[in-house]
Chain A
Amino acid sequence: MKQLLLTAAMIGALAAPAMADDGYLTKPRHHKNVTSSVPDNGDQNPYAIFVAPASAGKIKKDDVLVDNFNNAKNLQGTGSTIMIYHPDTEETTLFADIPHDLKGCPGGVGLSTAMAVLKSGHVIVGSTPSTDGTTATKGAGCLIVLDSNGQVVSTIAGKNINDPWGNMAVIDHGDSATLFVSNTGFGVGAPAAPDPVVNKATILRIELSTAGKTPVVKSQTMIASGLSEQAAKDVFIIGPTGLALSADHKTLYASDAINNRVVAIDNPTTLTGPGNLREVTKEGFLHRPLAMVMAPNGNLLVTNGKNGQVVEINPASGKQIAAQWLNADKAQVPPGSGNLFGIAMKPTGDGFYYVEDDTNNLSVSE
């Protein structure tokens, strides 16, 4: 029976985690799966999430749109679908399946974490395309503009656009909108070992008129440059992914995934060229910070690509409040690694949606 005692002692050695602090994440929370994000064509790896601000066409206010980065073969940069979850009926339907060989989108279609739904009903989604699942065959991609019925109405491409990647920050006036989007493709080559870090990623501000059927680009301004980016065999590209605006629109926060930090750019709406990158917080709980939103308490919530956690940061003090597991899938080391991307606040502010790439699900924490 000594073996039994040994086993019991080993099991008893488990320590319970300590609790107590304030912040958005530290209140009791409930996590649950909402819906599968896989369409009939088998696309995988949900990336972007955006909650619709208004109703139009197929979209109802508060619907949750989710796009897919991978196709049924699980090749990155080849997903072409956007799903729409209707919280009122709890139904999930296909919103759009964009042709891979879309004209005006260099390299084709592979939908990224860059997506926004505007009050006008237009959906703007980034394409960071590939044909073999790696950056060896990547194209510059584009921003695809869809109408509220999921039909492509135009594309935005050109010298300022190269693999629009991170979740967009948006100021939406109804008949016009300001979009902030990161580009992570400039100077990125095929995966290598080791993959070189290239400091050429940008953040672009796009002023858009949305009054007509087809939105019109009024101006494009690069408001940040020199951010780090890197090709990666496992995750395609690592680069600035999360963008979130302060409530007064005077500061844009960006997650710098490679350097495990969050940076701030002041006066993003009026800058006429690249602004300074002010470091808000670095390392600590940040393990490849990806998508980012601002919680109702003014703190930033950023998902970690490397461990399944969401991290809460006070942007004023730079203090990292806590990190919480949204995904703890033990199939990865460490648990949850590689599973989180998009995050979006619920309209009620009492929770947030997130995607889980290991199970291809939209989930909610509330």
Chain B
Amino acid sequence: MKNSLLLACCMAGMLAAPAWAEEPAAPPQAHGNFLVNGPMGGVWQQDQMLGDAWGARTWLGQYGVTVGLTEVSEILGNTSGGVKRTGDYDGLTTLTLQMDTGKALGWDGGTFNASGMHVHGTNLSANNLMNLQTASGIEADDGFRLWELWYDQTLLNNTTDIKVGQQSVDQEFMGSQYSALYVNTMFGWPMVPSADLLGGGPAYPLSSLGARVKFTPEASPWTVLAGVFDDNPGGLDPRSSDDAQKLDDRGTNFRLKDSALFLGEIQFAYPTVGDTQRAGDTVLPGTYKLGFWYDAGKFADQRYGTDGLSLADPSSNGIARLHRGNYSIYGVIDQALWRDAEGEKAIGFFVRPMISPNDRNEIHFSVNGGLNFKGLIEGRGDDVLGLGVAYTTVSDRARDFDGDTIAAGTPQPKRSNETVLEATYQYALAPWWNLQPDFQYVFNPGGGIADPNSPTGDRIKNETIVGIRTTLTF
């Protein structure tokens, strides 16, 4: 807990003194002029690389159908630390089909959505890093899979919408506008649910059947988001450490027989439509979210077996005690700290703390936060520099299990916490193309687990990760 507080203080310090670097030199512009004025002209202005795709988008648009195709590709490698040092490539192709049922069928307010993905490349975190807070949010098991398949209906003058079907809850719950910039997984679906829900829960690349409702009174700053989903898309046994992605390797399990996962979130956004500003007022926009999840399923104790002995005890029956239910409380803050009058340059802050019970979870606490600097370089108003930190603590019960293991005669370090620093710069080449160099540094990888290659059982050394990501929207 002390470490968590220290971290909070450190973040507050960053806030108190937001260093605004001296204005950097303007970037070379000849290239930009070529992009704008060159033979490909409008290609560099449009939202998608293929624009109208030879008329296909317009043609489909008549029937209310939109097609989205994106590719995220990255090369990441660890230049120090880890269990080995190599670079790897990994990528994600996502195809999304949406139909506006108003246009297609005359049924207003409905959206049908189907998305699928292909994950390719290798997984640096699993192969080299063995860290808790995995280096890339797109790392997953290779292959094609269905992602989401849902129908959304807006009601009551667009104040309410209900979404039913196969959904990935990370697309809506716990979301942060600013954290979405970062490459490390924890800035997307955070550490607590990733580690504590079965198979990481219904979040990328998994999804579950369920329903959610979103209610925003017209021109109100408040939004309520609530949902219930099958909690176990892979059908994992709570005592096993199987790979849920392999158990649901095509995303088509469509399970409904597991326990329920409830999520609820109340959101406040400022400013909102109708807010009025008077002379002398300075308004910096922010979004605040307070939420919880409750999983009605069974979860394995991190230390004790059904016989009451520690699972590390040589005479243990090896069958973990099961607890009914699991839960977490979380908060998300996105807050602008400063912006220039023109809106070209801005600084934003985000933080997302969350906790869950010690006895049934490997991870008890996680928080990530950071500062985003938009338009840091003169003339590059769409670029963003992000400086983020993610921190997580291993639960006391899991640490006690480590202690028991050591006491039982197996020398190994006792896990504690892990911290990741990330610096990333998103360079906008065109509305449909970003390049993003990335740097991460991991303190105490895996919470301080032993390096399997170390004959003396030393902890895995701190890791330096460098890489570059590119995002293309076709």
Say whether A associates with B.
yes
* A residues in contact (CB < 8 Å) with B: 1-4, 6-8, 10-11, 14, 17-19, 21, 25-26, 29-33, 40-42, 71-76, 131-134, 136-137, 190-194, 233, 283-285, 287, 306-307, 309, 320, 322-328, 330, 333-335, 337
Instruction: Please report the C-alpha to C-alpha distance between residue A14 and residue B41 in the assembled complex, in whole angstroms.
Output: 46
Q: Are B346 and A333 in contact (CB under 8 A)?
A: yes
B346→A287 contact, CB < 8 A? no
Task: Find out whether the CB atom of B339 lies under 8 angstroms from the CB atom of A17.
Answer: no
A134 and B351 alpha carbons, distance in the complex (Å): 39
Q: Which residues of A contact B275 (CB under 8 A)?
A: 17, 324-325, 328
Is the pair A2, B46 in contact by a Cβ cutoff of 8 Å? no
A11 touches B4 (CB 8 A): no
Task: List 9 tightest A-B contacts by C-beta distance, closest first.
Answer: A132-B41, A132-B42, A7-B331, A133-B45, A73-B51, A42-B61, A193-B29, A133-B42, A323-B277
Q: Does B299 contact A (CB under 8 A)?
A: no
Contacts of B334 in A (CB 8 A): 330
Residues of A within 8 A of B290 (CB): 7, 11
What total count of A-B pairs have CB within 8 Å? 174
Is A322 within 8 A of B276, CB to CB?
Answer: yes
Chain A residue nearest in CB terms to B275: A325
- When the two chains form their complex, are residues B343 and A2 in contact, meaning their CB atoms are under 8 A apart? no
One of B119-127, B281-289, B312-320, B406-414 contacting the partner:
B281-289
CB distance from A158 to the nearest CB of B (A): 28
Residues of B within 8 A of A191 (CB): 36-37
Known: A76-B45, A307-B343. A323 touches B276 (CB 8 A): yes
- Measured CB to CB, the closest approach of chain A to B119, in angstroms, equals 27
The reply to whether B1 and A29 contact each other, CB–CB distance below 8 Å, is no
A19 partner residues in chain B, CB cutoff 8 A = 276
B33 at the interface (CB under 8 A from A): yes
Residues of B within 8 A of A326 (CB): 273
Q: Is B365 an interface residue (CB 8 A)?
A: yes
Q: How many Å lie between the Cα of A198 and that of B342 in the bound state? A: 19
- Beta-carbon contact of A42 and B374 below 8 Å: no
15 CB contacts below 8 A, A to B, read A1-B355, A3-B8, A6-B353, A11-B288, A17-B276, A21-B278, A25-B276, A31-B219, A42-B61, A73-B47, A75-B45, A323-B276, A325-B274, A328-B275, A330-B287
Question: Are B45 and A325 in touch, CB under 8 angstroms?
Answer: no
Please determine whether B277 and A322 come into contact, CB atoms closer than 8 angstroms. Answer: yes
Interface centre among B37, B51, B271 (most CB of A within 10 A): B271
Query: Closest Cβ of chain A: how far from B462's Cβ, in Å?
Result: 25
Chain B residues whose C-beta falls within 8 Å of the C-beta of A1 in the assembled complex = 355
With A and B bound together, what is the CA distance between A314 and B334 in angstroms?
A: 35
A325 to B221, CA, bound (A): 12
By a CB distance below 8 angstroms, the chain B residues around A306 are 342-343
A328 touches B269 (CB 8 A): yes
Known A14-B288, A31-B218, A335-B285: A74·B274 in contact at CB below 8 Å = no
Do B353 and A42 have beta carbons less than 8 Å apart? no
Q: Are B285 and A330 in contact (CB under 8 A)?
A: yes
Decide: B379 and A193 in contact? CB cutoff 8 A: yes
Interface residues of B in 261-308 (CB under 8 A from A): 268-279, 281, 283, 285-288, 290
Question: Given that A2-B1, A6-B353, A334-B336 are known contacts, is A320 also in contact with B279, CB under 8 Å in the complex?
Answer: yes
A3-B276 contact, Cβ under 8 Å, with A73-B42, A74-B47: no
**Cβ distance A297 to chain B, nearest Cβ, rounded Å:** 16
Q: How far is the CB of A139 from chain B (nearest CB, A)?
A: 14
